[in-house]
Amino acid sequence: MEDDFWRSLMYFFSGVFSYRLVSTFLRYSHLYYSFHDIINKSLQILVMTDESITLTNSYKYDYLKETDISPEELEKIKSQDRATLLTWREMVIKSMLSISPRHLRLSSKFTTWNQAMNYFNSLPK
């Protein structure tokens, strides 16, 4: 009889331990999946924003060509726009990673814009 008590107690605590272990694993796997889904959707928004900025800049350059602006001045504006766009790209990736939880940030597959775009282009559409 006493043996049944200890066996039941062992089964009870092994069930509690198993439940806690499995629920913790499921919670972290859901957290990891949600984090990467949010990152993927954020990258999609950033790609669309980048394309819109590039398209808007091309419209601006076409308009400026029709005015009496000098080619040197136009090239200077293009250079400033390229620098601004590159700065924005790097800043937005750094910001996105810096606000991510530290333990999830380590699982990110990119740290720069080019790495992020390579990762984004490798995702199934």
How buried is 39 (Cβ within 10 angstroms: 0-12 exposed, 13-18 middle, 19+ buried)? Answer: buried
How buried is 122 (Cβ within 10 angstroms: 0-12 exposed, 13-18 middle, 19+ buried)? Answer: exposed
Say how many domains are in the chain: 1
- Domain-embedded: residue 27: no
- Domain-embedded: residue 106: yes
- Domain-embedded: residue 16: no
Band of pLDDT at residue 54, cut at 50, 70 and 90: very high
Return the pLDDT at 9. Answer: 87
Return the pLDDT at 103. Answer: 81
pLDDT reading at 121 higher than 90: yes
- Across the chain, mean pLDDT equals 92
Q: How far is CA 66 from the centre of its chain?
A: 39
